[in-house]
Every structure is written in structure tokens, then in C-alpha cells.
Structure 1
Amino acid sequence: MSSSQTIVNIVLSKFSLVQSKTVRNRRSGFSWLRKCVITALATLVLFVFMWVFSASKRISFAIILGAKGSRYVEQHTTQSVHPLNLKSNELDHLFDVYIHNSTKIKEYSNFNASLLTSAATSIFYPVRQQYEVGDTVEIRIYAYDGMGRPQTVGGDFWFVKATSPNKHFRTAARLVDHQNGSYSAYFLAPLAGRLDLHVILGYPSDTVRWLSEVYMKADGCFTWAARYNRFDVGDGQGRCVVKRGLNHLMNKNICIYGANETGMGQSAFICTMPDGFICDDIRSIVSYGQFAGIEQPVNRLIEGKKYLFNNTFYKTQLRSPQSVYHMDITEKSSTGMLSVIYDYKIERPRVLCGDGDSRNSSLLPEGYWLGPKWQSLVCSNTHSWDDLDNVKKCLAGHKIIMFGDSIACQWFRVLERKLGNKDVPNSYYYCTEDETHTVIYKRHVLSAALTATFNFAGLERMFEPEYMDMLNDPDVKYVIFISMSAHYASWNMDSYRDRMRAIRNGIARMRARLGDDRVMAVIKKSQPREQPTFEARVHSNDYVFRQMSRIMEEEFVGINAKLIDTWDLVTSYQEQVAVHMPWPCINEEVDLFLSYICPS
């Protein structure tokens, strides 16, 4: 007999016992009605009992998955979660409960806004009253809080620029944090004349600390959309997170991408799979809705901390009347003539592009603008690559593989133009041909005698190391170009490091397989960008981009990688920065790139 039937019999027996004691002589019709009422009451009691029992099981299951309704839930070991057979809508709930809510977010006590560094009270001025052409100019910044008290620790994030009144000369400055509330900003003075100084408080140190200790360590907060396609089913969509440590989560409706050395190492995309598809039906992974995938997680992270990104503390020009906003550069006293760069005054030895270590350890910025042309302080041989014959001669025998985002697409477009294609659109989209291809690329092949090939690899179906492991052309010299930063600021930085390390190891395998002289790696570091919304001040943060550049510097070692730093170039090009800079700016970046490939 079932347990439910036993409960019914017990309830009925109790009601029968009560009846037998109180009423002995009833008509048979009334007895039948009485039994019906008793049965209905017993059924109701059974329903309530079973509902309570099932609810307790649901609550227990939710607790097992970590659904405590708290941001402090610790990550559970994947072994405790047994393989589940869930439908797509139930799997979305699993994502919300297990993956998102299991993310441990460090709690931060509220800051006292009056103690944060203020653009209204902080001051700056040149350390000397007079500078000559060729000198390294030093601007000293003293940070004060909102109450006018001097700061005694460092950590603020600054932007410093100098421009001539007509904007013909434009330069960013290299910052040094003295860790006592004062900062030095250095730049080269290549021309005589008046300079306007612009000092911008990017973010106070408390904002930087929150970004470093909370935002950059938040794992699995942001969501991407996985697009699936199957010929007999059509299109479908799942949800993805980038996560570390859940690579063994087993479920027939969960797909894990990149959890190996040819993907993302210790990190992976963990995606729900719609009904009727298999994991190999994935076609692309893109942002999952502006609000649901990006803005909603940002608002959850900065709950109670939004003031850290208010206008008062976000990219604000210093405006203290005690600051010095203009200075004059005089002509070289020994000649009395207008002068250009004096190499002996430059603290960084300039070498051929591509020779030696391209990492910047100098106090000077990467270069400066004179009109429409970028003057590199890293390479001594940077020049314009506007002549088609020179470009063809440089690239003869090369195959350039470009991995990256829409910025890499801009570079690809400019390269096409330099190769003589006059019909290249002014677009940083559609550098891929068809999302249904196994390997997505756009190819431009020069004449057979030159054997120069350009592949733009849009990696909707394949990770970079997988692609590189297939490259084995014995007749070319490979140039692996990496530009992967603009869309990665919402990643946990440990996962971003995993991906950079996997790419670095893929390049190392290529060099071991083909020979060091046949594989050249060029890495474009990150750049600042615009933040058009309040949430973008968090998920597309310039400080985070700066840390991504440092990760690249730390990871791309031992493979003779050439790192191209465009931070100063982008910062000083015009008043406003953007993720997609104007085409003349991109042209200068590509000229620098070609100078690395062909230094002589």
C-alpha cells in the first residue's frame, strides 16, 4: 500500500471513529453523503501535506545550489551538483541560482565622499619656471580632498595633456605616483611657444581601489548570448558566462567552450543550450542584451557605490585658481633657432621599430602629434606607408593573421587601402564573411609572386590558439597580430589573463614548430575609450583597460613579442577619445605596425 493511501485510510478511520461514538442510527443516504464529505476533507488534508513536503524539497534543492539570496554565497564544488536533465527555461533559472548567485562579491564599506580626491581643490604647476626646446617638462600634481586637506597616499588615476593653442602640437604625459599624495607628469617639449596644460582627475584612489578589489575580481557576473544554428532546427539562443573553476559542471544542456590549452586555459564560456541543439551548433557569442547582460550586473555591483562614478569624481578637469594652466617653451639658447628633438635630451634610447624590447620603461610618453602625423619616441624609423610599391615590397612573403575586435577590423580596413583597394568601406564592422563557416576569415591575396596574405579571423567558432595550431605554410613568414581589449573590460581579470596566456602559448608552439624566424607576434595594447552611459563608466573603465595592458606585458614574454602601445597616441589625438578613433588616427597606428614588420 502506498504512503499516500495509508494517510488517507488513517484520516478516514479517525473520522469513522468519531462518527461511531456520536451517532449510531442514521439513514443510509445520509451515511453516503457523510462519507463523501469526509473523503473530500481527507483529500484536502493530503494535498496540503504534500504541498508543504514538496515545498520543503524545493527549498532544500535551492539551498544546495547556493540560492541563499545573498551576495556572499561561497562557490560550491562542482562535484556536489549531480547531472541534471533540465529544459532551457529551467536551465536559465539554474544560471541565475547557481552561477550568478554563487559569485562571491566582496563587500565594501561606504566611503566618505568628502575624503575623496577632488578636482576642485587639487592643484598642479610646472616644477621649473623656464623650459627650452628638447627639455623634458615635469608637471607636479598635489591631490587634495573635498575639504581642502592634502592627501597623504597615492593611487589616483590621472590624464595629463599639453597642447599648443592651435592644437598643432599635442602630447600626453607619463605619470609617476610618489605614493604621498603628489604626482609627476613628464612630456617632451619639441617646439618653442606657448603650451596649454590639461590635468584631468580620471578617478580618485578609492574608486581605483574598488575597481581593483571588487569589480575586476567579480567572476561570472556578466552574460553573453550564444547563437546556435542547426539545419533541421533553425536558430536558437542560450546564455553564457565566463567563469573559472566550473569547467566540470555536467549537464546535457550545458556547453563548455575553451576549457583547455587551445582555448582559455583555466577559464571557459559556460553556456546554456536550447532544446534540439548540440554544442557543436554554436555560431557566435555576443553581448546578451544591453540591460540584462551588462547594465543590470553593473547596477548590482555598484549598489550603494554609485557616487564613486558621479561627475564630481569622473574625468573632471582640475580647476583650482592656484594651478598654472599655461607655460612657455623657449628656443634653444645656444642656437637662437627653432629646434626639433634633441636626442641627447631624450631619456629613452630610440631604436629601430621591432628591435630590442618595445616595453616602455622611460619617463617619456610614447610620442606626440605634430599636425596629422604621429612622432614616435620609441622607434627611430617610423615613417608613412602611403606608397603602394613600398607596402608590397615590405609585405612580400608574409602572411598576416589578425585576431581581435572591431579595432582590429579598423586596422584591417586600412591595410586593405594601403594595398590598393579603393573600395574599402569606412566601417569597423563586417570584417567576417559568414557566421556559418567553421573558420571565419576575410582574405586579401596579393599576386602570387608576393605571397602576402591577410586573414581577419573573427573567432565566433574557434579560439585563437586552435587557429594558430593549424598554421603550417612552409613558404611564408607569419605575423600574428593581437588586438583584444575593447570588449574585454567586463571580464574577470584572471580569466582575461588566462586567455592572453593561452594565446601566448599558442604563439610559442608556432615558433617551436616553424622556427623563431618565421613567426612574429605583434600585440596592440589597450586604449582609453568613451563611456556614453553611467554604467559604461564601470564596464568600459579606462583604469581597467590600463591594467589589461599590464597583463599583456606580463604574459607575452619569451616569444620576442612586439607590443605596440597606442594609449598616448589615442589620448592626445583630439579632445575626446573613442573606442573607434577617426581613420587618420588609425592610419598612423597602422604605419607604426608596418614599421615594426619592416624596420629597415
Structure 2
Amino acid sequence: MERAAVQELRYIASELDRLGDRKGMIIVLTCWSHFLTYPVGVYIQRLHHIREAVALLLERSPETKILIKTANTGYRFDHGSDWLSLQLDTLMRAMFSKLPVTILDVWQMTICHREPENLHPPKVIIKNEILRVVVLVVLAGVVHANWTGVVWVLMVDTNKGGGSASSPCPAPPLASFLTGCQELERCEPECTDPATGNQHLRVTDPLGLSSLPGCVSCVYPRSSSSEKFIFNILWREYFTVVDNHPVALATTSTPTFPVTTPQSAEHIELMKMIEWPLAPTNVNLKLSTHPKTCEYFIINPYATYVVGESLELLIIAKDHKGQTKKYGGDFLHVKLYSSSMKAGVSGSVEDNHNGSYTARFIFQWPGETKISISLMHSSEAIAILHEKRDSRPDKVFFKGYFEKNGTHEVVECNFELPGQDVCEYYDQHNGEKWVCQRPKVLPCDSYRDHSSGGNRKILSKHEQPFFSMSLIDQEIRSSLGPLNILPQKNVTNSSHTVCFCNPSGFYYQDVWKSLICSNEPFDDHIRAANCLAGKMVYMFGDSTLRQWWEYLVDFIPALKEINLHVTHNPGPLLATDAEFNYLVQWRAHQKPLRMGPVAVHDLHYIASELDRLGNRKGMIIVLTCWSHFLTYPVGLYIRRLHYIREAVARLLERSPETKILIKSANTGYRFDHGSDWLSLQLDTLMRAMFSKLPVTILDVWQMTICHREPENIHPPKVIIKNEVDLMLSFICP
């Protein structure tokens, strides 16, 4: 074959190991021609691993059809011979004889045809070979099949046309798809489905290629325009099974924490970056910060302000009794906004470590401007969050679903389960392990599905009041009225792509105006499709990135979702646009993942996914990874990012034209054990760890913190549109 990127070459067994239990899955494989010149032991070893992978797949997905194509005759190249092919073909048939698979005997189909024998047979023979597979797939109503690492999507629009005008009935669909299909040109009268009233064609099977009777009735729905098959390769699965879990048969969970990364000096520096002034422990609730007693003032107020000028505020933190606090550590959100102009911009906060804070803003639009200062968490609550993050990684737990031979068990899983008898699954490529309680009956290798489990109550009676709804995410009142900003100065955009700029942009009329690049709104779906034309966009991350995929599919009519027969939320999800020739894929990252249930084989490490990608023109990578790590010690997150970063660096080395876009964290995390403060900590780490690579950070933190809509981990469509528009602006500057 021609020169190919080594990342694109994969073992069939590894590809099979990546497949979960999906409805309508058809596996077609062959493996022989490139092994003719080697000792047969090499071939037997390869087939052994494929056979074991097939057996495991059938165990977890018993409805899957496995079709194995035999060898062809016609091998006439140097060092080749049909005798060598026959030797390997005999071995293959014997090794798979005890598995419920179908052997497609194309050996006899190539040896006896009137055309000269050729390793790559002419179309008339290929048609008959494919017919064996197509008939099985179509008659089973399958619209999705995995062909040894390639997903083929069979799109059926069997309408009128294809037969001659004088023909008593149209040519059968298979005949119109497979040119020259003389054997199937017989047709029978139309029939009507009594259940639906839809008209169908009768298709005969005179060669007996399927396991069904010779005449198969009511196969295809009829409509009025055209009759055709579209049989396109739409995408290739790029994901290796380096993370298929080796099983330790007998082990007790050992502590994973603390984690030492491969760059320990960097680890220490990173920890310094997220240091936070923590409140004393065991503080009485009445001495903690209360939003109703806090106040703020304008520092050096002016009679008028103009666009481009700055504003400084002094925020005074006070306790429940109205006494000014003597230490900092409170977590605040600050912004300027205008409801009438649908405008908003975030500000920065400096902790003065004495109970006061300085907030700074830059005016971005003329007209009415209001100030919003919110206490998200008191410093005392932050101290509790900090302690629980490190001491109670079990606060969130997961379920592992084990299944074998009709027996089912559900157990608890997590990064670690100290002291418990566990099944341990270790991924050497990513340096991580995952453990599940050992099932009472089933073996460790029967681990099938993963899902979120629940949350544990970990706060003491003393700690719970600090997280009362009246104390968190509360706006601090002020007597200051709206400011009227004059339109005198213009703000100049820069072309830098480093998103540490504060502010990185602002909203005006619900449109994000970036201050770091010349972003443009993509209000026309044709313009968005033109931007993506010819590209492959791979999204890896969590549900906040899945919203981008969902928005694009909803926004661009020609971008059609391909049904991969998986649960929507955990995915994977794929959409293609045949008109503009591009695809957009989203895939969830590896555990921890509070979704599901999802097949463990469908969860892959981002680093492993990136390592499978070669040098391809028009490749766009969009990443995010943070929300499912909030409740764990940050060492785990640093380690995960370290491997992702190394994979990004390797990808850029072999594919320097690839664009890497990293979506920052969102604000709006309001679930149990979550907090925007925890999100900010991880977001700070992510920006620092990728600061030396030629990647683009898409700062959606500020896009979610300053909008007029209430903050939400899954923002409304108006925000998602602006986030996607920002992404498209970097893809098509």
C-alpha cells in the first residue's frame, strides 16, 4: 500500500475491543494477503488475538453479526501464490469454526468465474461478493455497520426509477445500486405493508445468498422521486484500545493520592498558582461573611465616564453582625451590565488580605451601565470546599455494571476504594487506574457499563450552614445607581490568541465582542458551513462541549446526525455534511464521568484519541476537560492534563497545520459538592499547563460570567451561539 501514518494502522483485535453493545452492529473482516510471505506461526498468532476479540465482542453484544471474508484466488505478485493463500485460508476457517460467525466463501467465487483470476477481482465478482453482505445488512434493517474500524452508513431512499420504461416493475434496489447485477433483476409486483400502508418492492434471492427464503417480501419503502443507494464512507474511528482495562484478578485498592506527576517541579509551581488565602478552621457561622452586611464604594468617583476608561471599587466584607472582617479569601463574581442593551463585561478582583477587595472594570459600551457584585462563597465556605476536595474524594461515586451469561451485578466504582476488595483496571498509556468493588459472583472481566452513582453527604452539622442558599451566590446590595457612559473612546482589538486578557471581551446586543481577536457572528448557516467545508472537527470533552455539537447540528440544516445507536448524552456523536464535505464529532472523555449508563468500551482517554490521529489536512481539535474533576484532589487533574498536553505536542509535531482549540471552564456550577471556585482552580491550572504550546484558549469563562442570563453550567442557546461563533472565528479568521 501507499505510505500511511503509523497512527492510522491498527490491530483488528484492538478495534473490536473498543466496541460496546450497539444495536444493528455488523462486523466484516478479512486478514490474509499480507501474511503470505511469513511463517504461518505469525498468522496464527494474529488470528488468535482476533478470535479472542470476536468471542469477547459476542459475549457483550450477542446480537452482533460477524462476517469473515475468505481469501481470494489470483495472487500473482512476487513471492505470492494461491497455494500460500489456500494455506492461510484453511487455517482461518479452522480457527473460527467453533464461533457463531459467518464465513463468506469468496475463494470459490473468484476461482470459478469466467474472468481471469486476479487478487483484486473485476466489478462483476466484487458485486457478487458484496451482495452477500449487503443483502444481510439491508434485510435486517441495519443502517449502521462497523467494517473493521470503518463505519459505513447505509442510506436508503428506495423510490421509483432505475428500471426501463417498458419494464413491468422497477429494477430491484440492489440491482440499481450494484451495476450489472443480472442475477437480481427479476422482480415481482408491489406489495403493501398491512400495518403501515406503505408500498414496498418484492426482491428475490435466486442465488440463496441470504439465510432467508428465496423470495423476500416487502423489503423497501416506496416513495415518488428516485430509487438509489448511497453507500459512503463517512468517518473512520480513530480510537485505539490502549485503554482497554487489564484486569487484576485479586487486589486490594491502594491509595492513589497524592499524585506525583512526571514534572514534579512543575507540579509544585502549579500548586503555588492556585494558592488561596484560607479562613481559620472552626469559625463560628456568625463570624463568616454575610452578603447582606457587605458593601462597596467607587474609588475616586468622577462626574462622567467614557468608553475605554476604568472603574475601581472597594468591596468591604463583613460578618453576620456587620463587623468588618480582618482576613480575605471570599470568592466574588463582579460585572458591569445593561439589561436594556443586552450588554455585559466582567471585571477583576484583587484580594487585599484584610477583609477588603478591589474590583476593576473597563467601560465597553456607551449608555446605561449597572454594577453587580455577588458573594459566591464566604472565605469560611471556601476553606471547607478546599479541605473536602482533598480529604473526601469519595463524595461522588459511580456504578459499575457487570454482566456475563445472563447474570448481572452492580457495584460501586471510583478512582480508589480504600481497603475494599476490588477489580483494578489500569491504563499504562495514561498512567491511571480505575477500581470497582469485586462482584460477588462475576469475574472482573465482565465489567460492561459505567454510570454516575450518586453523592454522599459529607458536611458536618457545623459545616452545613455555611452553604445555605441565603449565603451563596448572593448579590451585595448598594445605593449606587446606574452610570451613564459617554461614547468618546474606542476600544482597539488585538490579534493575540492568549486568553489571559481581562476582560477578554464583552456582550453588546447579546453579541460577544472579543478584545483578543476579530471575531465575527455566524448568523448565516451557509457561512458557517463554508467555514467548516473540507474539515474534520473532533471534539473531546464533557457535556458543555457537547452543547456546541448540538448547536451546530441544529443550526446547519445540511449537517445531519449519523445514528451510531448509542445513548445521546455519553455519545459518541457524529454529524456529516455531504454538501460541504465535513464532519463534526463529539466524544466524552474517559472516567470520571457523571453520565450514563455507557459502555466502558465507548469511553476513551483524550490523550489516546489524539495519539491515533495522523497528519490530515483540515483537522480541527476542540478539547475541554474539567467539570468531572472538581470533586477530586487537583493532582489527579494535573496528571490527566499532563498526558493530554504531551499528546497535543506529539500531534502538532506530526501534523503542524492542525488547529488545537481548548475550551475553558464555564461558570454556573451549582450541583452538590461543586462550586465556581473549584472550577476556577482547575481552569487556572489548564491555562498554565498549555501556555507554552501553540494552542488557542477559548475563554468561555468570561462569556458565561457576565451575560444577563442566570449563570448555568449548561448555558442557554444565546450564550452557546456566541461560544460557537468564537470557535468558528478562530477556525476561519
When normalised by structure 1's length, the TM-score is 0.67
Paired residue type of 1:239: E
Comparing 133-142 and 216-225, the one that deviates more? 216-225
Paired position in structure 1 for 2:512: 374
What secondary structure, in the 3-state scheme, does the structure 2 residue paired with 1:343 have?
coil
Paired position in structure 2 for 1:469: 611
What secondary structure, in the 3-state scheme, does the structure 2 residue paired with 1:497 have?
helix
Separation in 2, partners of 1:454, 1:235: 36
Query: Is residue 452 of structure 2 the alignment partner of residue 287 of structure 1?
Result: yes
Q: CA deviation at 1:495?
A: 1.1
Q: 2:309·2:362 contact (CA, 8 Å) conserved in 1?
A: yes
Which protein has the bigger strand share?
2
Q: 1:202·1:314 contact (CA, 8 Å) conserved in 2?
A: yes
Pick one of 588, 593, 596 that aligns with 2:727. 593
Query: Is residue 446 of structure 2 the alignment partner of residue 307 of structure 1?
Result: no
Paired residue type of 1:453: L
Separation in 1, partners of 2:641, 2:396: 19
Gaps of at least 5 residues in structure 1 are: 1-82, 87-93, 103-107, 332-337, 345-349, 425-429
Paired position in structure 2 for 1:72: none
Query: Is residue 355 of structure 2 the alignment partner of residue 181 of structure 1?
Result: yes
Pairwise mapping of residues 208-287 of structure 1 onto structure 2 (< 5 A)?
208-216=382-390, 218-230=392-404, 232-233=405-406, 235-243=408-416, 254-258=423-427, 260-262=428-430, 265=431, 267-274=432-439, 277=442, 279=444, 281-287=446-452
Q: CA deviation at 1:132?
A: 1.7
Alpha carbons of structure 1 residues 281 and 523: separation in structure 2 relative to 1, 3 Å: farther
Pick one of 449, 454, 458 that aligns with 2:588. 458
Identity of aligned residues (%): 22
Paired residue type of 1:469: D
Pairwise mapping of residues 105-504 of structure 1 onto structure 2 (< 5 A)?
109-127=281-299, 128-129=301-302, 130-166=304-340, 168-216=342-390, 218-230=392-404, 232-233=405-406, 235-243=408-416, 254-258=423-427, 260-262=428-430, 265=431, 267-274=432-439, 277=442, 279=444, 281-289=446-454, 294=455, 296=456, 299-319=457-477, 323-331=478-486, 338=487, 342-343=490-491, 350-352=493-495, 356-361=496-501, 364-379=502-517, 381-421=518-558, 433-434=565-566, 441-447=572-578, 451-459=581-589, 460-472=602-614, 474-504=615-645
Q: 2:249·2:444 contact (CA, 8 Å) conserved in 1?
A: no
Query: Is residue 715 of structure 2 the alignment partner of residue 574 of structure 1?
Result: no
Separation in 1, partners of 2:484, 2:631: 42
What secondary structure, in the 3-state scheme, does the structure 1 residue paired with 2:415 have?
strand
Q: CA deviation at 1:595?
A: 1.0
Paired residue type of 2:674: S
Paired residue type of 1:509: R
What secondary structure, in the 3-state scheme, does the structure 1 residue paired with 2:291 have?
coil
Q: Deviations over 1:131-171 (max 9, x none)?
A: 22222222221222233332333221111222225252223
Q: CA deviation at 1:593?
A: 0.8
Separation in 1, partners of 2:351, 2:606: 36
Q: Deviations over 1:495-522 (max 9, x none)?
A: 122212221122122223x2322x3221
Q: 2:400·2:450 contact (CA, 8 Å) conserved in 1?
A: yes
Q: 1:194·1:327 contact (CA, 8 Å) conserved in 2?
A: yes
Q: CA deviation at 1:213?
A: 3.5
CA RMSD of aligned residues (A): 3.5
Alpha carbons of structure 1 residues 85 and 559: separation in structure 2 relative to 1, 3 Å: closer
Separation in 2, partners of 1:511, 1:101: 32
Q: CA deviation at 1:594?
A: 0.9
Q: CA deviation at 1:275?
A: 5.3
Separation in 1, partners of 2:556, 2:500: 31
Q: 1:367·1:378 contact (CA, 8 Å) conserved in 2?
A: yes
Q: CA deviation at 1:224?
A: 0.8
Q: Deviations over 1:385-437 (max 9, x none)?
A: 2334433332234221111122111100122234434877xxxxx9974279x
Paired residue type of 2:575: H
What secondary structure, in the 3-state scheme, does the structure 2 residue paired with 1:288 have?
strand
Q: CA deviation at 1:551?
A: 1.5
Comparing 586-595 and 213-222, the one that deviates more? 213-222
Paired position in structure 2 for 1:505: 646
Gaps of at least 5 residues in structure 2 are: 1-247, 259-279, 590-601
Q: 1:391·1:418 contact (CA, 8 Å) conserved in 2?
A: no
Q: Deviations over 1:28-54 (max 9, x none)?
A: xxxxxxxxxxxxxxxxxxxxxxxxxxx
When normalised by structure 2's length, the TM-score is 0.56
Pick one of 644, 659, 676 that aligns with 1:520. 659
Separation in 1, partners of 2:410, 2:684: 35
Paired position in structure 2 for 1:555: 689
Q: 2:339·2:708 contact (CA, 8 Å) conserved in 1?
A: no
Separation in 2, partners of 1:443, 1:268: 28
Separation in 2, partners of 1:557, 1:444: 31
Q: 2:377·2:473 contact (CA, 8 Å) conserved in 1?
A: yes
Q: 2:305·2:485 contact (CA, 8 Å) conserved in 1?
A: yes
What secondary structure, in the 3-state scheme, does the structure 2 residue paired with 1:210 have?
helix
What secondary structure, in the 3-state scheme, does the structure 1 residue paired with 2:603 have?
coil
How many aligned positions are there?
A: 453
Separation in 1, partners of 2:691, 2:448: 32
Pick one of 694, 698, 705 that aligns with 1:564. 698
Separation in 2, partners of 1:234, 1:573: 51
